[in-house]
Amino acid sequence: MTNPNTPMKTGFDVIQSYLKTLDGSPGVYRMLDSESRVLYVGKARNLRARVSNYARPSGHSGRIARMISNTASMMFLTTKTETEALLLEQNLIKQLKPKFNVLLRDDKSFPNILVTTGHDYPQIKKHRGAKKEQGNYYGPFASAGAVNRTLNQLQRVFLLRDCSDAMFESRTRPCLQHQIKRCSAPCVGKISPEDYGKTVQDAQKFLNGKSTDIQSRLASDMALASENMEFERAAALRDRIKALTQVQTAQGINPQTVSEADIIALHMDQGQACVQVFFIRANQNWGNHDYYPRVGPDVDAAEVLEAFIGQFYDTREPPRQLILSNEIESPDLMTEALSGKLGRKVELIVPQRGEKAELVESALRNARESLARKLAETASQSNLLKGIAQAFDLEAPPQRIEVYDNSHIQGTNAVGAMIVAGPEGMMKNQYRKFNIRGDDLTPGDDFGMMKEVLMRRFKRLLKEDPDRKLGMWPDLLLIDGGAGQVSAVASIMKEYGVEDIPMVGVAKGVDRDAGKEEFYRVNQRPMALRHNDPVLYFIQRLRDEAHRFAIGTHRAKRAKAIGATPLDDIAGVGAARKRALLAHFGSAKAVSRANLSDLKAVQGVSGALAERIYAFFHERS
């Protein structure tokens, strides 16, 4: 019988013991520590051969040697092909976030431009997320700002509407967009469906990189209008040509020989990496974005770039070409995987000369500069975290600071907000909002609101990470408030058994002036920092960021509440049916008074839904 107090074996011997059970199949392996946490996920063309490399006692880099020494067990999953193993490996890395893998940490989706179909006057708008809506999509763009700039250009040149269908149907006179020459006002019949359709086609040609053909045709139309003495039409065409020329001038950086590609450049320094991605579509540069994958000090460029590409395109559609700054470990395998995802051939190119090499050099320069800025910011942030540890007598510089604030107007639409900061600055993907639910709270009871927020926070932490091993627990809590707030939070922390987490209340000092803040801790006298102390400025920034986030969340909740009606509480009544009911009856109050036959007469409302709506209002009264 095994003694439970005997430490588990780890290292080469453990890995060696798995070799007799493995064959030469392709697959994915996981290395786990003594507490069954995943240390590393890898793929293999031949599992036995790959694992046998780890069973050797020497010849490993420092990172791999540390990983082997921590390995207490392994898991295996065979696949039919190595390509399947590659795809499964990237899925597991993103899901499990192993300590020793290269990990892409920013995984947000990119916006597109959508030109809708199924309407006489199609709408042009920004779209993010799954492509479920019917229409033609153009993208991806590197940021919302890049999309907005392009939409602005398209509206100036092609005068397309950006209003919703509901807004379009309700207009009785042109809106401001028409007044400033950004829309042709199709909502009130200022342009025929046929002519509007031609401008939509031109806009789509522009998005496909065919702006020269459009300009030539517009010039011909302008000349013809002048000959026919249609001077107003000629002037309008002249303005469109001028706007298009300005757009083309602004796009002078666009490549001539690359129609559809992502330019991916990697720069590594001091154990950190920056990957710069430029999006080229329709011979146009649609912006760039930088990424900072988590890497170890001895990972080579080929491994980092391959891991980045695999994870980056796990949920994204790859372009026809990936133009890279470095070779990757398995280019043929990656090409096969990406081509299978896209349904057509994807090329991986590492150019040596020509325009493609110039594009890569430009991306590399951006990666070098971005990483240099980040390293400087990280060094500064590290000093500030050390300063916080010294100021508040912490055992070590905090790696995760959580800052809390509330926002409400006389207790209404109350929300709590949590922001998070760490060694790399604000961790915005960790921000959280809390809709205050306490029915027994007195309106404006800030103590009660803060207690509810912290109670819900600790309850979730104890459920999701009871052993504090996933990096979700804070090393320091900053609370907006003084002794009363600190006492309220301390009672919650005691109730949940987490009094060991340092907690500081930040209160405005004399005359509530910034710079005279006082800091409150449990069972200690209030303290202050020098007015020119960088740590004080840092704490002020954290508090202001929490306040900004709380205010923004509160305003969004209040705006939503302003447009709320009892119809929002009826199952089956979404935005479209709500609009139809309000348009038919004029108000929610009128809907509540309608009889069953009138409700059934509303377009889009079925007999069953009409009965549900009728019952909702009449059973309540």
Which domain CATH number covers 605?
A: 1.10.150.20
E strand or H helix that includes residue 312: helix 301-312
203 domain residue, yes or no? yes
Over residues 97-106, the mean pLDDT reads 84
Looking at the structure, do residues 131 and 236 belong to the same domain, yes or no?
yes
The CATH number of the domain where 91 resides is what? 3.40.1440.10
Angle in degrees, 0-180, between the axes of helices 144-158 and 193-207, rounded to the nearest 10 = 140
Does 488 have pLDDT greater than 80?
yes
The CATH number of the domain where 447 resides is what? 3.30.420.340
Return d(Cα 321, Cα 119) in angstroms, integer: 34
Q: Which of 346, 358, 382, 146 is nearest to 265 (CA)?
A: 358
Q: What is the pLDDT of residue 2?
A: 46
With cut-offs at 50, 70 and 90, classify the pLDDT of residue 7. Answer: low
**Ordered DSSP codes for 92-123:** HHHHH--TTS-B----PPPPEEEEE-SSSS--
* Residue whose structure tokens are 């950190």: 272
DSSP 471: S
E strand or H helix that includes residue 426: strand 425-426
From residue 89, alpha-carbon distances to 43, 211, 219, 312, 319 in Å are: 6, 42, 55, 13, 22
Local structure of 8: helix, strand or coil: coil
Q: What is the pLDDT of residue 150?
A: 79
Over residues 503-525, the mean pLDDT reads 79
Looking at the structure, do residues 44 and 90 belong to the same domain, yes or no?
yes
Looking at the structure, do residues 121 and 86 belong to the same domain, yes or no?
no
Does 192 have pLDDT greater than 50?
yes
* Token pair recorded at residue 67: 């990983």
174-178, 206-210, 306-310: least confidently modelled range: 206-210
Return d(Cα 290, Cα 294) in angstroms, integer: 13
Residue 254 and residue 285 in contact, taking contact as beta carbons nearer than 8 Å = yes
Q: Sheet of 73-78: strands edge to edge?
A: 38-44, 27-32, 73-78
Does 237 have pLDDT greater than 80?
no
354 domain residue, yes or no? yes
Q: What is the pLDDT of residue 249?
A: 46
Instruction: Provide the CB-side half-sphere exposure for 228 (13 A, CA).
Output: 11
* Residue whose structure tokens are 């915005």: 428
With cut-offs at 50, 70 and 90, classify the pLDDT of residue 144. Answer: confident
156 domain residue, yes or no? yes
Return d(Cα 339, Cα 341) in angstroms, integer: 5
Q: What residues are paired with 44 via a beta bridge? A: 27
Return d(Cα 342, Cα 318) in angstroms, integer: 7
386 domain residue, yes or no? no
Q: Among the three residues 250, 270, 304, which one is the final residue of a domain in this structure? A: 250
This prediction's pTM: 0.64
Looking at the structure, do residues 34 and 77 belong to the same domain, yes or no?
yes
Does 230 have pLDDT greater than 60?
yes
Over residues 581-594, the mean pLDDT reads 81
Looking at the structure, do residues 245 and 266 belong to the same domain, yes or no?
no
Return d(Cα 327, Cα 305) in angstroms, integer: 8
Q: Which of 25, 15, 18, 19 is nearest to 84 (CA)?
A: 25
Looking at the structure, do residues 129 and 201 belong to the same domain, yes or no?
yes
With cut-offs at 50, 70 and 90, classify the pLDDT of residue 251. Answer: very low
Q: What residues are paired with 30 via a beta bridge? A: 41, 75
Q: Among the three residues 373, 389, 424, which one is the final residue of a domain in this structure? A: 373
With cut-offs at 50, 70 and 90, classify the pLDDT of residue 212. Answer: low
DSSP 16: H
209 domain residue, yes or no? yes
437 domain residue, yes or no? yes
Residue 406 and residue 454 in contact, taking contact as beta carbons nearer than 8 Å = no
Name the pairing type of β-strands 73-78 and 27-32. antiparallel
555 domain residue, yes or no? yes
Looking at the structure, do residues 221 and 327 belong to the same domain, yes or no?
no
Looking at the structure, do residues 324 and 225 belong to the same domain, yes or no?
no
262-266, 334-338, 360-364, 565-569: least confidently modelled range: 565-569
Looking at the structure, do residues 508 and 591 belong to the same domain, yes or no?
no
Looking at the structure, do residues 172 and 288 belong to the same domain, yes or no?
no
For the purposes of burial, counting CB atoms within 10 Å of the CB of 437, is it exposed (0-12), middle (13-18) or buried (19 or more)? exposed
Q: What is the pLDDT of residue 246?
A: 56
Q: What is the pLDDT of residue 621?
A: 42
Residue 157 and residue 197 in contact, taking contact as beta carbons nearer than 8 Å = no
Name the pairing type of β-strands 27-32 and 38-44. antiparallel
Over residues 149-166, the mean pLDDT reads 84
Looking at the structure, do residues 231 and 296 belong to the same domain, yes or no?
no
Looking at the structure, do residues 140 and 156 belong to the same domain, yes or no?
yes
38-47, 380-389, 407-416, 476-485: least confidently modelled range: 407-416
From residue 348, alpha-carbon distances to 9, 45, 256, 322 in Å are: 43, 21, 19, 5
Q: What are phi and psi of 6, to 5 degrees?
A: -75, 125
- Average pLDDT of the chain is 84
Q: What is the pLDDT of residue 308?
A: 93
> What stretches of 139-292 adopt beta strand conformation (E)?
260-269, 272-281, 284-291
Over residues 267-272, the mean pLDDT reads 88
With cut-offs at 50, 70 and 90, classify the pLDDT of residue 250. Answer: very low
Query: Could you list the residue range(s) of the whole structural domain that residue 276 is in?
Result: 260-373
The total number of structural domains in the chain stands at: 5
* Residue whose structure tokens are 């900053």: 478
Does 394 have pLDDT greater than 90?
yes
6 domain residue, yes or no? no
Q: What is the pLDDT of residue 399?
A: 93
